[in-house]
Chain A
Amino acid sequence: MSRIIPYPTHAHALDNGLEVIQVPMPSNGLTAYWSIVRTGSRDEYEAGRTGFAHFFEHMMFRGTERYPADVYQRILTEIGADANAYTTDDLTAYHVSMASEDLETVIELESDRFKNLCYSEADFETEAGAVYGEYRKSRTDPTFTLHEAVVEAAFDVHPYGHTTMGYEADIAAMPKLYEYSREFFARYYRPDNTTLLVAGDVDPDRVLRMVERHYGDWEPGYRAPPIPEEPAQQAPRRVDVAYDGRTLPIVWLAYKIDAFDPANRRRVAADLLADLAFGPTSEAYRRLVLDEQIVEHLDAGAAANRDPGLFDIFARVKDPAKIDHVLDVIDGTIAAHRHAPPDAERLAPMKSRLKHGFLMGLETPDSVAQRAARYVAVGRGLDALEALYAAYDRVTPGDVRDAAAYLAPERRTVGVLRGRE
């Protein structure tokens, strides 16, 4: 079986549990250095703490005693690095892209903040304002508003029931949670909950020695959060959202689906089903977008989630009077796929697309790391990514039909957002 990543990969673990994955590749003198923490909004199981993983990502830029925020920033500025971070449901990623000769500087800086983060209560409170600003910016988008409502309706107990941004009331209350933020750092920012991903023209042995030197004394001690298991959904759910502004209506169907697992044939086939049923070459797309022209945007898919998550179908509808018709067409499409497997010849172009799409996305060290980050966090390494693409190749029409069983009415939450007329 040929591998999907066309470069050699190296994986090691330090004694403290820190995993180090390296992808040596030609890169025009640039290296990408990613620190991936396997904690995201999924881990916010405590009431009043939604959005905290994302907020904490902001605090990670507030410095240490040795490198206060302005010094940290100054060094990154001197070396012309492109540094940022993001938080999602299952992970938080800190990424730096820089000239390869500056790698050791970056390793020293990053290891210091992961081991010794230290900020004042005043800094903490100020950053809460910036996070609120990010929320303000996001909430003008009706898609964000609907997403918030759909996940909240879909989950009864699992933290996937709130967005990564968190609830507004919790964001407003963040400035008071300084002590909790130290606790959060102590619980989750540990080597045994973190993977380093390094891509570029690197010498793996040399990098590993540098990592050992700078991270070897980082104390393990990850405490896994008690994430409640979501009970099986018994009946269809529906949520209608009124958007305070003008927008095209949006229809969002979310079905409960298994967690990411390359060994779960049905779950793997669901990724193909999404595109077969609702992608740009599907019957539904042709009908709703191109022929009837009543849908402006249609897509579907399921994130590779650590816990059982959602298979989403998303449509922006051009005419509020046609919402029910669009739902009927989507239902009909699902029924057809549950009833009969797709023609075998439809799978070959899909598999080709998956493979070429992946290869086309490996343009730079940073894009390699970006593609791999979720699988590193959720699947615990690049082997999961290789296993996933090998499994895609083995998907049969029967697997696709089995996957359509996920799309049963009792597993569904329908969200419909309408704007002001």
Chain B
Amino acid sequence: MSASAHERSGAPGAPRVDVLLPVPAEPTVSFSISFRVGSQDDPPGKEGLAYLTGLMLAEAATENRSFDEILEALYPLASGYAVRVDKETTTLTGRTHRDNLDRYVPLLTDAYLKPAFAARDFERLRSDAVNDIENTLRYAQDEELAKAALHAFVFEGTPYAHPPEGTAAGLRNVTLDDVRALYRRRFTAANVTIGLAGGFDDALVRRMAETKAELPPGAPATPPVVSPRPVDRFEVLLIDKPGADASISFGYPLGVRRGERDFYALAVANSWLGEHRNQSSHLFQVIREMRGLNYGDYSYIEAFPEGGERTMPPVNVPRRHQLFEVWIRTLPNEHAHFALRAALRELERLVTRGMTREEFDLTRAFLSKYVRHFAETTSRRLGYAMDDRFYGLEGEGHLERFVRTMDELTVDDVNMAVARHLRADRAKIAIVTGAADALAKALADGAPSPIRYATPKPPDVLGEDREIERHPLPIAADAIRVMPVEEAFAR
């Protein structure tokens, strides 16, 4: 499961590929080309510039081919390349069968060396991006909307606030000249990391290394300062969407990053509390399994975009700043207050009581093996190795550290890390709901929020419900904001 990369150096000073994961028997080759530029670099009023620039590399014409010619050329190879624009990085990834390298590599390298920045492509990509916000995100993905709203809320006033995809007004303000300028300034040899994995040979390593020399040299990027305001009470953002059920996300900034010992200690606590898409998750047990209120309930100590579509953590979203986040999946509006209290109450119990030795032993055993599923494929291992470069984890990578640290941690280490970093008496809360006014009033009143079940429940569940419905959730009236859905990510 080693995700560490060994490096092959050419002549001194010669460009080289940064991350190499050879798997000689593998019939495919995976590529990763990552630039240190992301949505945090968007100028105010042009939110979405980095996103559009990334798309103009991956989904548009190059100097040698129009975009439909590119599609035509990639088609028989059943291969492609895609871009992930995140807060800090823009990463092109691709994979092809070894037999097709001669045809594939020129297409991939042209994408980042020779983008054409054709106006027709730009208009197409921009209108799709605006639609994604104004239609899809606002009206078709309540859970993703709540999560994006939480991230904006937690990082309010920082370059991390807007989604990587930008805002509707920001996207409309971006010009093709802005895109060209960002490309010239930031898509440079000084800002690129190149990775190869699978069944590649030395000639391919040389070719990929040469592409560095074909980029302008540039200066290393200086990332902007991101300092989210500390959260010192409960604050609520209600996205008023008529007709919607309730989708809830809450959290706060977290000053722990992968590589640090506390991260792995927190990973144990977080796994016990809310391992993504896992029935062992405690939140899942309390809210879904025992009460049937919704489809799932999870928690995170790292950004986890597209949670509804993936079972394992994403790669290529490395960030200097993370947040602790709880995701309560869609449920009826009349259960929202109760479910929020139930989740906060479980978090409070974790913070005040810590994990028991038994819970710790079981969760540690689980993670020691489960982490193998994080990188089952060579392309995923490459993604982790590229992220390791970002986090400065060369040598012993994140996944190896994960496994090793599991062997070393004690239950006290975990509980101390929880005490240091997690709180249950404050959080920013984002809720997409069709009952914003009623929910705002209920949250401000802080009255008990009993729920009625359609079917009988066992006495122990009903007994615990008495505690949950009264769980203290003090929210000042001035800490509740209601935003019409039409205004979400408008600017």
Residues of A within 8 A of B (CB): 6, 26, 28-30, 61, 69, 73-74, 76-82, 84, 97-99, 122, 125-130, 132-134, 136-137, 140-143, 175, 244-248, 279-281, 286, 289-290, 293, 296, 318, 348-350, 352-357, 359-360, 363-364, 366-367, 419
B454 x A356 contact (CB < 8 A): no
Contacts of A140 in B (CB 8 A): 139-142, 244-245, 330
Compute how far the CA of A29 lies from the CA of B292 in the bound complex, rounded to whole angstroms: 36
Chain A to chain B contacts (Cβ below 8 Å), 18 pairs? A28-B1, A30-B376, A76-B280, A82-B373, A98-B369, A126-B289, A129-B454, A130-B289, A132-B292, A140-B140, A142-B140, A245-B241, A247-B136, A248-B131, A280-B71, A360-B79, A363-B376, A363-B378
- B428 on the A face (CB < 8 A): no
B4-12, B106-114, B359-367, B435-443: which lies at the interface? B359-367
Contacts of B147 in A (CB 8 A): none
Expressed in whole angstroms, the minimum distance between the Cβ of B128 and any Cβ of chain A is 5
Compute how far the CA of A353 lies from the CA of B97 in the bound complex, rounded to whole angstroms: 11
Contacts of A246 in B (CB 8 A): 134-135, 138-139
B331 x A352 contact (CB < 8 A): no
- B463 on the A face (CB < 8 A): no
- B156 on the A face (CB < 8 A): no
B292 x A127 contact (CB < 8 A): yes
Expressed in whole angstroms, the minimum distance between the Cβ of A359 and any Cβ of chain B is 6
Given A73-B280, A281-B75, A356-B76: A126 in contact with B131 (beta carbons within 8 A):
no
Compute how far the CA of A364 lies from the CA of B456 in the bound complex, rounded to whole angstroms: 44
B141 x A129 contact (CB < 8 A): no
Proximity bits, B282-311, A CB within 8 Å = 1, else 0: 000000111111110000000000001001
Given A296-B128, A360-B28: A352 in contact with B291 (beta carbons within 8 A):
no
A84 x B138 contact (CB < 8 A): no
Instruction: Determine which of A122, A286, A350 lies in contact with B457 in the assembled complex, contact meaning CB atoms within 8 Å.
Output: A122
A353 x B67 contact (CB < 8 A): no
Contacts of A366 in B (CB 8 A): 376
- B404 on the A face (CB < 8 A): no
Expressed in whole angstroms, the minimum distance between the Cβ of A296 and any Cβ of chain B is 5
Contacts of A290 in B (CB 8 A): 67-68, 120, 124
Expressed in whole angstroms, the minimum distance between the Cβ of B139 and any Cβ of chain A is 4
Compute how far the CA of A293 lies from the CA of B125 in the bound complex, rounded to whole angstroms: 10
Instruction: Determine which of B241, B330, B373, B454 lies in contact with A133 in the assembled complex, contact meaning CB atoms within 8 Å.
Output: B330
Expressed in whole angstroms, the minimum distance between the Cβ of B126 and any Cβ of chain A is 10
B368 x A80 contact (CB < 8 A): yes
Give 5 nearest A-B pairs by CB, closest first.
Answer: A80-B369, A129-B292, A357-B78, A125-B455, A349-B76
Compute how far the CA of A137 lies from the CA of B25 in the bound complex, rounded to whole angstroms: 42
For residue A144, which residue of chain B has the nearest CB? B140
Compute how far the CA of A171 lies from the CA of B272 in the bound complex, rounded to whole angstroms: 31
For residue B125, which residue of chain A has the nearest CB? A293
Residues of B within 8 A of A (CB): 1, 25, 27-28, 67-68, 71-72, 75-79, 95-97, 100, 120, 123-124, 127-128, 131, 134-136, 138-143, 241, 243-245, 277, 279-280, 288-295, 308, 311-312, 329-332, 362-363, 365-373, 376-379, 453-458
Compute how far the CA of A296 lies from the CA of B330 in the bound complex, rounded to whole angstroms: 28
For residue A127, which residue of chain B has the nearest CB? B292
Instruction: Determine which of B127, B243, B289, B368 lies in contact with A318 in the assembled complex, contact meaning CB atoms within 8 Å.
Output: B127
A247 x B376 contact (CB < 8 A): no
A137 x B139 contact (CB < 8 A): no
A133 x B293 contact (CB < 8 A): yes
B455 x A122 contact (CB < 8 A): yes
Expressed in whole angstroms, the minimum distance between the Cβ of A244 and any Cβ of chain B is 5
Compute how far the CA of A349 lies from the CA of B100 in the bound complex, rounded to whole angstroms: 13
For residue A319, which residue of chain B has the nearest CB? B127
Contacts of A73 in B (CB 8 A): 279-280
For residue B69, which residue of chain A has the nearest CB? A281
B295 x A134 contact (CB < 8 A): yes
For residue B361, which residue of chain A has the nearest CB? A78
A137 x B143 contact (CB < 8 A): yes
Compute how far the CA of A157 lies from the CA of B194 in the bound complex, rounded to whole angstroms: 56
Instruction: Determine which of B134, B295, B362 lies in contact with A137 in the assembled complex, contact meaning CB atoms within 8 Å.
Output: B295
Contacts of B456 in A (CB 8 A): 122, 125
Compute how far the CA of A48 lies from the CA of B138 in the bound complex, rounded to whole angstroms: 33
Expressed in whole angstroms, the minimum distance between the Cβ of A139 and any Cβ of chain B is 9
Instruction: Determine which of A245, A293, A357 lies in contact with B124 in the assembled complex, contact meaning CB atoms within 8 Å.
Output: A293
Expressed in whole angstroms, the minimum distance between the Cβ of B478 and any Cβ of chain A is 30
Expressed in whole angstroms, the minimum distance between the Cβ of A204 and any Cβ of chain B is 21
Given A122-B457, A246-B135, A353-B78: A80 in contact with B366 (beta carbons within 8 A):
yes
Given A126-B455, A246-B135: A136 in contact with B245 (beta carbons within 8 A):
yes
Contacts of A363 in B (CB 8 A): 28, 376-379
B376 x A360 contact (CB < 8 A): no
Q: Among the interface residues A74, A97, A140, A354, which one has the most CB atoms of the partner chain B within 10 A?
A: A140
Expressed in whole angstroms, the minimum distance between the Cβ of A228 and any Cβ of chain B is 32
Compute how far the CA of A125 lies from the CA of B243 in the bound complex, rounded to whole angstroms: 26
Instruction: Determine which of A30, A84, A126, A353 lies in contact with B277 in the assembled complex, contact meaning CB atoms within 8 Å.
Output: A84
Compute how far the CA of A49 lies from the CA of B68 in the bound complex, rounded to whole angstroms: 47
Compute how far the CA of A419 lies from the CA of B138 in the bound complex, rounded to whole angstroms: 13
Contacts of B136 in A (CB 8 A): 247
Compute how far the CA of A296 lies from the CA of B27 in the bound complex, rounded to whole angstroms: 34
B366 x A78 contact (CB < 8 A): yes
Expressed in whole angstroms, the minimum distance between the Cβ of B122 and any Cβ of chain A is 11
Given A77-B280, A125-B456: A133 in contact with B295 (beta carbons within 8 A):
yes
Expressed in whole angstroms, the minimum distance between the Cβ of A143 and any Cβ of chain B is 8
A245 x B139 contact (CB < 8 A): yes
Contacts of B289 in A (CB 8 A): 69, 126, 130
B295 x A130 contact (CB < 8 A): yes
Given A99-B369, A141-B141: A74 in contact with B362 (beta carbons within 8 A):
yes
Expressed in whole angstroms, the minimum distance between the Cβ of A63 and any Cβ of chain B is 11
Compute how far the CA of A79 lies from the CA of B373 in the bound complex, rounded to whole angstroms: 12
10 new A-B contacts at CB < 8 Å, known A142-B139, A359-B27: A77-B366, A80-B366, A80-B371, A82-B311, A122-B457, A140-B139, A141-B140, A280-B75, A360-B78, A360-B95
For residue A142, which residue of chain B has the nearest CB? B140
Compute how far the CA of A1 lies from the CA of B429 in the bound complex, rounded to whole angstroms: 60
Compute how far the CA of A356 lies from the CA of B25 in the bound complex, rounded to whole angstroms: 17
Expressed in whole angstroms, the minimum distance between the Cβ of A199 and any Cβ of chain B is 12
Contacts of A81 in B (CB 8 A): 369-370
Compute how far the CA of A126 lies from the CA of B453 in the bound complex, rounded to whole angstroms: 9
Contacts of B279 in A (CB 8 A): 61, 73
Contacts of A419 in B (CB 8 A): 135, 139
Compute how far the CA of A360 lies from the CA of B378 in the bound complex, rounded to whole angstroms: 12
Contacts of B68 in A (CB 8 A): 281, 286, 290
Instruction: Determine which of B120, B134, B362, B372 lies in contact with A99 in the assembled complex, contact meaning CB atoms within 8 Å.
Output: B372
Compute how far the CA of A28 lies from the CA of B100 in the bound complex, rounded to whole angstroms: 25
Compute how far the CA of A200 lies from the CA of B308 in the bound complex, rounded to whole angstroms: 27
Compute how far the CA of A366 lies from the CA of B380 in the bound complex, rounded to whole angstroms: 14
A281 x B71 contact (CB < 8 A): yes
